[in-house]
C-alpha cells in the first residue's frame, strides 16, 4: 500500500494536481470572459467567438475541448503520459543545478517584469520557429493551425505533447534567472490576454503599434493563412519586431479576410481524441524516420574508389 500511495503521489505531483489551485481556474475564466465581452462589443454578436462556438461547434469543438483540458489542469497529466514524466525530471534538475538568481540583483519589480517578458518572448519566437521547421514538431503544431474558424479559444488549441514541451521551456528562463513566481504569473497574464485577442475576430492591424511593436490580430491571422506565401511568417508571440529582425515578417493587408487552416485538413472530422492520438502517432513516425536517417548518416562509410 505504501508503494501504491507513493506512485499515486508521484503521478499527481508530476501532473501538477498536488498544487492545483481553483483560484487559477477562476482567473483564467474571468480573463477569458472579459476578453469575449470586449470582442463582442467590437465586432458584434454574429462575428464573435461566442457565435462561432454556438452555431459552428463542429469546426471549433477542438478549441473548446482544449480549453476544458487546460482549465482542468489535464495538459500536464496527458503530457506526462506522452513523455513518461521526462520533463518533470528535467525541470527538477534545472531548478536544482542551474538557478543563478540573476534577476534578484534588480530591485525594481517593474524592471524585473519587463526583462523577463522580453526574454520569454525571444524564447517563444525561436520555439515557434522550430515547430514550423522540425517535421515531428510540425505534426504536433498542425493541430493549432488546423483551426478553420478563429475564436478566442483557439489560443488554447494546442496538442498536449506540444504543451508539455513548451510548458517546460516557458519555465526554463524563469528558473535560470531565478525570477519570483509573481513575475512569472504577471508575464503569463499579459501573454494570455494578448493570445486571446490575436486569435479573436477583431481583425485589426493595431496601427503603428502592430506595425513596429506588438503582434496584432491581423498579422497573426496571416500566420494562420492557408496561402503557401504566408507559411512561416509572423512567428512572434508578443512582439512583431522579432520577425522584422530575423526576416519572417509579412505585412498584413488592411481589412483582408484570410482563409485559415492547413491543406488537406484531416482535423475537425473524427473528434478531438482521434485528432490528439493521430497527431502524436504521426509525430513519432516522423521523429523515428529522422532519427534513423541521422544514425545512418553518422555511420555511413565513404564509398571505396574503384581501381581502373
Alpha-helical (H) ranges within 132-240 are 135-145, 160-177, 181-198, 207-212, 217-223
Pull the grid cell for residue 7: 506512485
- In Å, what is the CA distance from 61 to each residue of 64, 67, 150, 272? 5, 10, 11, 8
Mean pLDDT throughout 53-78?
Answer: 86
User: Is 240 domain-assigned?
Assistant: yes
Mean pLDDT throughout 62-86?
Answer: 78
User: Is 92 domain-assigned?
Assistant: yes
Dist. CA 239–CA 233, nearest whole Å = 13
3-state helix, strand, coil in the chain (%, to 5): 70, 0, 30
Q: For the whole model, what pTM was predicted?
A: 0.86
Per residue in 101-160, pLDDT (tens digit) is 777 778 888 888 889 899 999 999 999 999 999 999 999 999 999 999 999 999 999 998
Pull the grid cell for residue 260: 485559415
| The pLDDT of residue 61 | 92
| The pLDDT of residue 303 | 53
User: Is 13 domain-assigned?
Assistant: no
Dist. CA 138–CA 152, nearest whole Å = 22
User: Is 307 domain-assigned?
Assistant: no
Dist. CA 48–CA 15, nearest whole Å = 34
The Cβ-side half-sphere exposure at 13, using a 13 Å CA radius, reads: 10
Confidence of residue 256 (pLDDT cuts 50, 70, 90): confident
| The pLDDT of residue 212 | 94
Confidence of residue 279 (pLDDT cuts 50, 70, 90): very high
In terms of Cβ atoms closer than 10 Å to its own Cβ (0-12, 13-18, 19+), residue 208 is exposed
Pull the grid cell for residue 37: 465581452
Q: Which residues contact 252 (CB under 8 A, 6 or more apart)?
A: 205, 216, 218, 219, 221, 222, 234
User: Is 179 domain-assigned?
Assistant: yes
Among 257-261, 291-295, 301-305, which stretch is predicted with the lowest mean pLDDT?
Answer: 301-305
Share of the chain above pLDDT 70, in %: 85
pLDDT at 28 over 50: yes
pLDDT at 308 over 50: no
User: Is 16 domain-assigned?
Assistant: no
Task: Provide φ and ψ at 304, rounded to 5°.
Answer: -75, 140
Domain that holds residue 283: 23-290
Pull the grid cell for residue 173: 528562463
User: Is 305 domain-assigned?
Assistant: no
| The pLDDT of residue 7 | 60
Per residue in 195-224, pLDDT (tens digit) is 999 999 998 999 999 999 999 999 999 999
Confidence of residue 182 (pLDDT cuts 50, 70, 90): confident
Residue whose entry in the numeric block shows the C-alpha cell 531565478: 178
User: Is 301 domain-assigned?
Assistant: no
- In Å, what is the CA distance from 283 to each residue of 6, 268, 276, 295? 32, 18, 11, 18
- Total count of domains within the chain: 1
Angle, CA 172 vertex, CA 294 and CA 108 arms, to 5°:
150
Cβ proximity of 202 and 219 under 8 Å: no
**Angle, to 10 degrees, between the axis of helix 135-145 and the axis of helix 160-177?**
110
Task: Provide φ and ψ at 221, rounded to 5°.
Answer: -65, -35
Amino acid at each position: 500500500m505504501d508503494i501504491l500511495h507513493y506512485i499515486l503521489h508521484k503521478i499527481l505531483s508530476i501532473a501538477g494536481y498536488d498544487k492545483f489551485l481553483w483560484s487559477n481556474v477562476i482567473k483564467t475564466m474571468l480573463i477569458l470572459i472579459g476578453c469575449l465581452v470586449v470582442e463582442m462589443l467590437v465586432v458584434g454578436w454574429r462575428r464573435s467567438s461566442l457565435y462561432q462556438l454556438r452555431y459552428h461547434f463542429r469546426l471549433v469543438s477542438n478549441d473548446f475541448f482544449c480549453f476544458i483540458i487546460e482549465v482542468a489542469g489535464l495538459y500536464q497529466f496527458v503530457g506526462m503520459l506522452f513523455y513518461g514524466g521526462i520533463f518533470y525530471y528535467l525541470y527538477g534538475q534545472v531548478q536544482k543545478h542551474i538557478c543563478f538568481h540573476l534577476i534578484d540583483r534588480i530591485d525594481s519589480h517593474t524592471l524585473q517584469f519587463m526583462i523577463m517578458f522580453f526574454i520569454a518572448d525571444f524564447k517563444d519566437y525561436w520555439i515557434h520557429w522550430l515547430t514550423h521547421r522540425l517535421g515531428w514538431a510540425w505534426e504536433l503544431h498542425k493541430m493549432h493551425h488546423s483551426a478553420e474558424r478563429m475564436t478566442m479559444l483557439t489560443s488554447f488549441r494546442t496538442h498536449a505533447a506540444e504543451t508539455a514541451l513548451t510548458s517546460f521551456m516557458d519555465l526554463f528562463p524563469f528558473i535560470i534567472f531565478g525570477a519570483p513566481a509573481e513575475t512569472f504569473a504577471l508575464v503569463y497574464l499579459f501573454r494570455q490576454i494578448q493570445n486571446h485577442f490575436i486569435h479573436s475576430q477583431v481583425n485589426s492591424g493595431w496601427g503603428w503599434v502592430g506595425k513596429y511593436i506588438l503582434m496584432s490580430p491581423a498579422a497573426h491571422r496571416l500566420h494562420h493563412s492557408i496561402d503557401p506565401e504566408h507559411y512561416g511568417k509572423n512567428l512572434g508571440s508578443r512582439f512583431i519586431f522579432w520577425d522584422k529582425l530575423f526576416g519572417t515578417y509579412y505585412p498584413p493587408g488592411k481589412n483582408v479576410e484570410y482563409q485559415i487552416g492547413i491543406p488537406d485538413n484531416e482535423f475537425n472530422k473524427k473528434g478531438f481524441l482521434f485528432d490528439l492520438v493521430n497527431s502524436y502517432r504521426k509525430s513519432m513516425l516522423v521523429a523515428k524516420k529522422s532519427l534513423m536517417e541521422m544514425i545512418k548518416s553518422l555511420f555511413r562509410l565513404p564509398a571505396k574508389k574503384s581501381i581502373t
